[in-house]
Amino acid sequence: MVNKTYAKLQEKIGREQFKFQRNSEKIRMLEDLHESLFNRLFKITRDIILMQKFIFETHIK
Amino acid sequence: MKKLILSIFLIIYSFYGFCQSSQNKIDSLKTIYTTSKISKEKAEALNNLVDQYFDKNKDSAEVYILKTLKFTEGKKGLEQIHIHSLLKYAQLFIVKGDYDTSTSYYKKSWEKLKNKYDYFLYNKYYGDLGVLNFYKGDFKAALSNFDKALQLAKKEKNEEDQLRYLNNKALAMSYLGEAEASLDVHEEAIKLAEKLNDSTALGKSFNNIGLIYEDMKEYEKALEFYLQSLKIKQNSTSKIDIANSLYNVAGMYKEIGEKNNDTLYYAKAEKHYRLAEEKAKEVNYGKVILFSKAGMAQLATVRNQPQKAIEIYKSVLDEAEKANDSQTLRVTYLNLGVNYSKLNNLVNAENYFLKALPLIIKAENPSDIASIYKNLAALYSKKHDYEKAYNYLNKQYEVEQEHSKNSLKDKISEFEIKYETEKKEKEILSQRANIAEKELHLNQKNTQIIGLVILACVVAVLGYLLYNQQKLKNQQLKKESELKEALIKIESQNKLQEQRLTISRDLHDNIGAQLTFIISSIDNLQYGFKMTNEKLTNKLSSISAFTKETIYELRDTIWAMNKSEISFEDLQVRISNFVDKANSVSKDTTFEFDLDPQITKETVFTSIQGMNIYRIIQEAVNNALKYSEAKNIQVTFQKLENKFQIRVTDDGKGFDLKTVELGNGLNNIKKRATEIGATLNIASQLGEGTTIQLEV
């Protein structure tokens, strides 16, 4: 009885650990993505600001 | 005198069994006799009354015998009681000493008895007739009758009767001088008495052994046995038995006193004779009264009181002559002769000796015969008739030679040893039985102890097993609780991660929408307003392209994230799309995508593996396009033993790995390869292209 419960628990933990591993991988991917997105958004923002500056300098005088 | 003693023992056995009575029983029987209307009941009551009185009161017994005889005379169905009464009457005359009358009644009894066999009556007839023969001095006839009674008892398997007649037979044999043979019969009697646990009979056997010792003139030993016998008999109710024993003991005191010339023994002898006479008088037991008187007369003889002895003997003689008691007569004649001889009245002495001689010869007792010859020899010597004296001495010598005592003495000793040995063997057997019993108890106890030890061991083992099981159970429960705890923890972590992923998805959707908005706004700017400024146009195109690239990256990641695992087929499609796109964008470069046919479509990667492999290929291709000026770029997938090999090869200008500093692209490739545990190999030489090889 005890062994059966114990085995079930172990099986469940195994499943949860697998799930956790997958989720961890995904989160790591997300973190990379977020880092990349942050850099890219920063660059986009910078380029837009530079572009606005250029527009102001050339067209609005 | 020995003859007297023998006779008394015969009486003991004859009357054994008739001595128990009580007044109540007598009263009850009298009531039955007077009130009963049934003849048989009346006759039986009378018969029983005879039995009850026989030992107590001879006169009363005679009255009831006569009543019984009268009542049963000629009546059908009462013949047995009639014959029994005749036999009792005959027996009564033995006790009275009237042997002739007794003989006539035995004859009458036999006339009625001879044609119908009845064990009880036949047995009584032969037994009592044997006693009568014995008292009359006819020991051969007595032996014959005792033997007949004994054979009947053996045939009927009546052991009590057998015991009685064995003793009587032994006495008769002893008296006939067959002492050695009689000892065998005594031995048989003792065995039977022990088997029957009959202490009274055993007492009588002691008496008989004493008798033989007495015959051997070993009076101390004889006295020892007689006293043992008296001790046993004193517990019985039979006064006749006690009187007989007292008489025998008195005789031995007298003999020892005579042997040692000890007056103390004489006094004891006189005391016991008186006690025997008193006891005999209580039951009107004439025989012992007479014998006790004779004993006292003999005591006076040995005390050298011949006058007193003669007086007593003469009174005994009167009674013996009346009763025609040859046994008493011959003893009395002999002793009168001895006493007259002492008084030097040789005429009277010779007269009595010669009267005693034929009776003694007829009785065939060698020691008595030797004694009379000795006395006659002495008498004739005193009378100076030496020829006669010499003849009698010769006769005495011959008789004594014939009757060798030595063999008898040996036989007695042998018998005594045999008896003692048997007794000791019995004791040993009894001790062995006790030891065996104790051993059995010990074995039982040992078995119990072993059983208890085994039980204790079993209990201990069971206890230990239970304890271990409980311990194991506790450990498992502990582990279980630990597992539960870990499960809860991991579940909560998973929930947290899932929440993060959910939030991320929402964020990605939002970012995706905003990036699309940016692209759309830039496109509107480009096409809504006529941009003349080339720099501005290029800048807008660059932002737009970068933003699109960001969206693709976002979409790729979301694609990977939404899958729990990425199949090779998915990965192949995505890479193909990418290669096609690259092919369409870069017209000077030819792309090739080769797949090992061994790789099956079912092959799967984890999302992170799939994502990183895709990114590495993307990065490598982009690098080749940007920096190598390659004309051909080849992406190859190959299956090794347990691995996949992915190669991106270009035929561009290549670079020197030692001198060129690695940029973000290659660093990203390295980082991703490390992340998924893959082996990365970058091979490049100037002018010979570059190969990036990844093994997963």
User: Which domains does chain B carry?
Assistant: 565-695 (3.30.565.10)
Chain A: give the shortest CA distance to residue B648, in Å.
Answer: 23
Q: Give the residue-averaged pLDDT of B48-66.
A: 82
Using CB atoms, pick whichever of A25, A36, A43 lies closest to residue B607.
A25
B558 or B451, higher pLDDT: B451
Cα atoms found within 13 Å of the Cα of residue B301, Cβ hemisphere only: 24
- Report the sign of the C-alpha dihedral through residues A9, A12, A18, A21, in that order: negative
Encoded tokens for B264: 């103390």
Q: How far apart are CA B419 and CA B423, in angstroms?
A: 6
Q: Which residue of B has its CA nearest to A44?
A: B543
**How many other CB atoms are found less than 10 A from the CB of residue A3?**
10
Q: How confident is the model at residue B2 (pLDDT cuts 50, 70, 90)?
A: very low
Chain A: give the shortest CA distance to residue B680, in Å.
Answer: 20
Using CB atoms, pick whichever of B536, B547, B607 lies closest to residue A29.
B607
Using the Cβ of B545 and the Cβ atoms of chain A, whether some distance falls under 8 Å is answered with: no
pLDDT tens digits, B88-147: 888 888 887 788 888 999 998 888 888 888 888 888 899 999 988 888 888 889 999 999
Beta-carbon separation of A28 and B608 below 8 A: yes
Picking from A29, A42, A56, A60 by the largest number of B CB atoms within 10 A of its own CB, the best residue to mutate is A29
Using the Cβ of B535 and the Cβ atoms of chain A, whether some distance falls under 8 Å is answered with: yes
Q: Give the residue-averaged pLDDT of B422-427.
A: 84
Q: Name A49's Cβ contacts closer than 8 Å, sequence gap at least 6.
A: none
Q: How confident is the model at residue B447 (pLDDT cuts 50, 70, 90)?
A: very high
Using CB atoms, pick whichever of A12, A27, A40 lies closest to residue B550.
A40
Per-residue model confidence (pLDDT) at position B6: 43
Number of H helices, E strands in chain A: 1, 0
Task: With a cut of 50, say whether residue B204 has pLDDT above it.
Answer: yes
Chain A: give the shortest CA distance to residue B553, in Å.
Answer: 8
Beta-carbon separation of B543 and A47 below 8 A: yes
Q: How confident is the model at residue B565 (pLDDT cuts 50, 70, 90)?
A: confident
Task: With a cut of 70, say whether residue B693 has pLDDT above it.
Answer: yes
Contact B266, B20 (CB under 8 A): no
Using the Cβ of A20 and the Cβ atoms of chain B, whether some distance falls under 8 Å is answered with: yes
Contacts with A10 from chain B: Cβ below 8 Å: 483
Contacts with A12 from chain B: Cβ below 8 Å: 487
Using the Cβ of B564 and the Cβ atoms of chain A, whether some distance falls under 8 Å is answered with: yes
Helix (H/G/I), strand (E/B), else coil: B690: strand
Q: What percent of chain B has pLDDT over 90?
A: 12
Residue with tokens 């392209």: B545
Closest CA to B183 of B424, B407, B421: B407
Q: How far apart are CA B622 and CA B582, in angstroms?
A: 9
Picking from B490, B502, B548, B613 by the largest number of A CB atoms within 10 A of its own CB, the best residue to mutate is B490
pLDDT tens digits, B170-201: 888 877 877 777 878 887 888 888 788 777 77
ipTM: 0.87
pLDDT tens digits, B358-410: 988 888 778 788 888 999 999 898 888 888 889 999 988 888 887 755 555 66
Beta-carbon separation of B561 and A28 below 8 A: no
B690: left (phi over 0), alpha (psi -120 to 50) or beta: beta
Range of weakest confidence among B192-206, B280-294, B669-683: B192-206
Q: How confident is the model at residue B469 (pLDDT cuts 50, 70, 90)?
A: very high
Contacts with A9 from chain B: Cβ below 8 Å: 480, 483-484, 487
